[in-house]
Amino acid sequence: MNQALTRTFFLLIFFISLLIPGCENFRIAGESGKYPADLDKIRENGRLVVVTGFNSVSYFIYKGEPMGFNYELLEAFSDHLGIDIELIAENDPGEAVRMLNSGEADLAVTGFNSDSRAAYNIQLSEPLGQSAHVIVQKKPVRSGDPGNTSGYISNIEELAGKQVFVQKGSPFASSLKALAEEYQIRTDIVEVPLDPEQLISLVDDGEISYTVCNEDLARVNAGYHPGLDVAIVIGPERNHSWAVRIENSDELLKELNNWIISYRSTNAYAQLYSKYYRNARSRTIFNSDYYALSTGRVSQWDEIIKTCSDSIDWDWRLLASLICQESRFNPDVTSGAGAYGLMQIMPETGKSMGIDITLSPRNNILAGIKYIGRLNSMFHDRIPDENERIRFILASYNAGPGHVLDAMRLAGKNGHDPLKWEDNVALWMLKKSEPEYYNDKDVKNGYFRGRESVAFVNEILDRYQHYTNIIQ
């Protein structure tokens, strides 16, 4: 591709990106903080909001479940803090810093290194790893043939006069500029609004000739694209760190640093690094139909789920999360209680709706949809807020509506809001296992172990948040 065409190509991508809506900000799992808060306030809120990059190593969805090196590190940090973590997916470092400074996020995990401190006026954590920058290019047409016309370069000096594309706002442009100055060469550095993995794919497709990214990510991607060369290293290894804002984050940074120093030396960290950076299965995951970053799919049933979800006016990704929770997308699974199929419908429930739930996966989903519709009718007038109503419907799907109505009555008579789930009705679902409360005169359905239903709601909505992060 010549220089004029290449610039036109990326301008087109940029303007299209302005027209395409970003990842949804509807987070039924909980609202993000609106004001900068240090650790004491974060603990009080019970939620750490993190803006994180996403790619085939750091954060992705595979077969319906969230995975990734940064994702699992954040899960471990969440366990350490004893509070939930809410993730916002964003690959643009500048946008991640904006979210930090506005208070929309408390922590940013978007590929920062030591160069980022001055560039973005942020505080960096202790390093979680190190990696050099490398040039990514296609291997020569015939290795060792000096007459090949592939554009392959074998040393840094040969970058002279070449056009190199890098992610806008990343540290790679400054690396190239320093390199050009050191070697007294002139290189055309083009910064574009695409993340490093997208640029690597364009190199593999032959749309561009060169990009620069971290060596660890480049080597993983070379496993997906065997025709790539990632051998030319630019400069020394650089620390990878997480970022917090300059103001009002001192306690969070202190806690984070202490945790990193401790966790970095554990076997768990070493195993996690190997899982994502040295795993022979990575290529299988990357090429799977259910690697959602490239396919937008979580299961073989997605088209049925999309069609059926329209009838109850649900986002198909929410319904998919419910199905994943119930059956892990296995259409033949049967529970100990006799619930069957993708949506774990009891046979008598299916019969009451005139549907043979065992006839096909589609029938099973249709029965589940019809039952959700019944629950929506039951709670529509009781719970006017749609987001809250979804929580009550999910709880009822698991526990049965009778136990949820009991918990609503208990919440109301004990000073809590019977129309809100989290920290209100959910608390009284938990208390339905205590004699003092399941024997209450207003409880119509007796004892219930509510812990499983509360976890059921939380896990579905957390997974749904990951789906909205990754799947447009």
Quote the pLDDT of residue 142: 64
Answer yes or no: do 264 and 391 share one domain. Answer: no
Whether 258 is covered by a domain: the verdict is: yes
Structure tokens at 57: 């190593």
Residue 326 designated active-site: yes
Whether 405 is covered by a domain: the verdict is: yes
pLDDT along the chain (472 residues), means of 10: 47 41 36 66 94 97 98 97 96 94 94 83 94 95 54 94 95 90 94 97 97 96 96 92 94 98 97 95 96 97 97 97 98 96 95 95 97 97 97 98 98 98 97 97 97 97 97 90
Q: Three-state secondary structure along the chain?
A: CCHHHHHHHHHHHHHHHHHCCCCCCCCCCCCCCCCCCCHHHHHHHCEEEEEECCECCCEEEECCEEECHHHHHHHHHHHHHCCEEEEEECCCHHHHHHHHHHCCCCEEEEEECCCHHHHHCCEECCCCEEEEEEEEEECCCCCCCCCCCCCCCCCHHHHCCCEEEEECCCCHHHHHHHHHHHHCCCCEEEEECCCHHHHHHHHHHCCCCCEEEEHHHHHHHHHHCCCEEEEEEEEEEEEEEEEECCCCCHHHHHHHHHHHHHHCCCHHHHHHHHHHHCCCCHHHHHCCCCEHHHHCCCCCCHHHHHHHHHHHCCCHHHHHHHHHHHHCCCCCCECCCCCECCCCECHHHHHHCCCCCCCCHHHHHHHHHHHHHHHHHHHHCCCCCHHHHHHHHHHHHHHCHHHHHHHHHHHHHCCCCCCCHHHHHHHHHHHCCCHHHHCCCCCCCCCCCCHHHHHHHHHHHHHHHHHHHHCC
Answer yes or no: do 144 and 205 share one domain. Answer: yes
Quote the pLDDT of residue 35: 54
Catalytic residue among 31, 326, 388, 452: 326
Q: How many domains does the chain have?
A: 3
Q: Which of 230, 263, 293 is the last residue of a domain?
A: 293
Q: Which of 209, 238, 267 is the last residue of a domain?
A: 238
Quote the pLDDT of residue 111: 80
Q: Which of 270, 293, 316 is the last residue of a domain?
A: 293
What is the span of the domain harbouring residue 343?
A: 302-470
How would you classify residue 165: left for phi > 0, otherwise alpha for psi between -120 and 50, otherwise beta? beta
Whether 9 is covered by a domain: the verdict is: no
Answer yes or no: do 282 and 211 share one domain. Answer: no
Find how far residue 283's CA is from the centre of its chain: 19
Residue that the structure tokens 């994702």 belong to:
71
Q: For the segment 341-357, what is each residue's pLDDT rounded down to a tens digit?
A: 999 999 999 999 999 99
Answer yes or no: do 403 and 443 share one domain. Answer: yes
Answer yes or no: do 156 and 223 share one domain. Answer: yes
Whether 107 is covered by a domain: the verdict is: yes
Q: Which residues are CB-neighbours of 429 under 8 A, at least 6 positions away?
A: 395, 399, 403, 404, 407, 448, 450, 453, 454
Buried b (16+ CB within 10 A) or exposed e, 20-31: eeeeeeebbbbe
Quote the pLDDT of residue 150: 61
Answer yes or no: do 39 and 91 share one domain. Answer: yes
Answer yes or no: do 81 and 144 share one domain. Answer: no
Answer yes or no: do 307 and 437 share one domain. Answer: yes
Whether 151 is covered by a domain: the verdict is: yes
Whether 2 is covered by a domain: the verdict is: no
User: Any idea what the CATH number is for the domain that residue 164 is in?
Assistant: 3.40.190.10
User: Any idea what the CATH number is for the domain that residue 383 is in?
Assistant: 1.10.530.10
Answer yes or no: do 218 and 285 share one domain. Answer: no
β-pair partners for 117: none
User: In the chain, what is the greatest distance between 2 CA atoms, to the nearest angstrom?
Assistant: 90
Answer yes or no: do 168 and 104 share one domain. Answer: no
Whether 371 is covered by a domain: the verdict is: yes
Answer yes or no: do 169 and 84 share one domain. Answer: no
Quote the pLDDT of residue 144: 52
d(CA 286, CA 396): 37
Quote the pLDDT of residue 23: 37
Answer yes or no: do 194 and 317 share one domain. Answer: no
Specify the amino acid at residue 34. Answer: K
Find how far residue 48's CA is from the centre of its chain: 15
Whether 1 is covered by a domain: the verdict is: no
